[in-house]
Amino acid sequence: MTRPLIGITTSDRKSRLAWFFDWLAVWRHGGRPLRLSPSRPVPEKLDGLIIGGGDDIEAKLYGGEVQLDVRVDPDRDALELDLLERFIPTHCPVLGICRGAQLINVYLGGTLDADIYTTYEGLKRRRTVLPRKTVDIVADSLLHRILDVSWCRINSLHHQAVQEAGDGIAIVARDRDGLVQGIESRKHDFLIGVQWHPEWLIFNRPQQRLIRALVKASS
């Protein structure tokens, strides 16, 4: 059986180790991962698409306040918005990871909280690739059916978060602090965003089900 081609967006400066985890997450579940970045050509056809994690999204894209002490990547923003514009209408399965979830929401007209630590005073800083945060999943959501759990432990590497949901977007997961951690589209068969990084949780069965579901939907 031919492996489905899964595009994974990254920055041009992403480390080899981080890309290895992206690659492994897709390959081990039967997909053929293809790195997409601003300096790399994009194929005419993809079977599936992952909008990966990375730098902050430019504030002007969602009407937010400019943060002077963060790193942005306008070329990557443009690439990923173009990919969503091209491939969502073709019913290509799409998974957004961390920044990717935020970008999906922005593409569909939603907004972001530019800095959760400014908005929520006293919020504990938990920046780690280890599963240290608890997330509750909305029953009967697509994310719930895929993960097959009502709650799970996740990692956390973000300081931005989804604020107002975009067109057709449902909020389907929140952490115990009330922050949005999972979204999905009610208008598409497979358009999901998670605020955490499932690719780093290689021994966590629910998170591997999420990657497997994306590959399966792309086959």
pLDDT tens digit sequence for 184-200: 999 999 999 999 999 99
Angle between helices 205-218 and 16-27 (to 10 degrees): 70
The model's pLDDT over 42-99, given as tens digits with 9 standing for 90+, comes to: 999 999 999 999 989 998 999 877 665 678 999 999 999 999 999 999 999 999 999 9
C-alpha to C-alpha distance for 35 and 25, rounded to whole angstroms: 13
Predicted local confidence at residue 176, as pLDDT: 94
Told to judge if 91 belongs to the known catalytic residues of this protein, a careful annotator would answer no
- Which of 29, 80, 92, 98 does the annotation list as catalytic? 98
Of the pLDDT bands very low, low, confident and very high (cuts 50, 70, 90), residue 123 is confident
User: DSSP labels for 140-158?
Assistant: TSHHHHHH--SEEEEEE--
pLDDT for res 122 = 78
Query: In this structure, what token pair is assigned to residue 189?
Result: 């068969």
Pairing mode, strands 161-162 and 112-113 = antiparallel
Predicted pLDDT at 105: 98
* The one-letter amino acid at 146: I
Out of 41-45, 125-129, 170-174, which region has the weakest mean confidence (pLDDT)?
A: 125-129
Question: How many angstroms separate the CA atoms of 102 and 163, rounded?
Answer: 9
Identify the active-site residue in 29, 80, 92, 199.
199
The four Cα atoms 81, 82, 83, 88 give a dihedral, to 10 degrees, of 80
pLDDT value at residue 64: 77
Half-sphere exposure of residue 69: CA atoms within 13 angstroms, side-chain side? 2
Structure tokens at 45: 């056809």
Residue 158 catalytic?
no
Active site residue 188: no
- What is the C-alpha separation between 107 and 169, in angstroms, rounded? 11
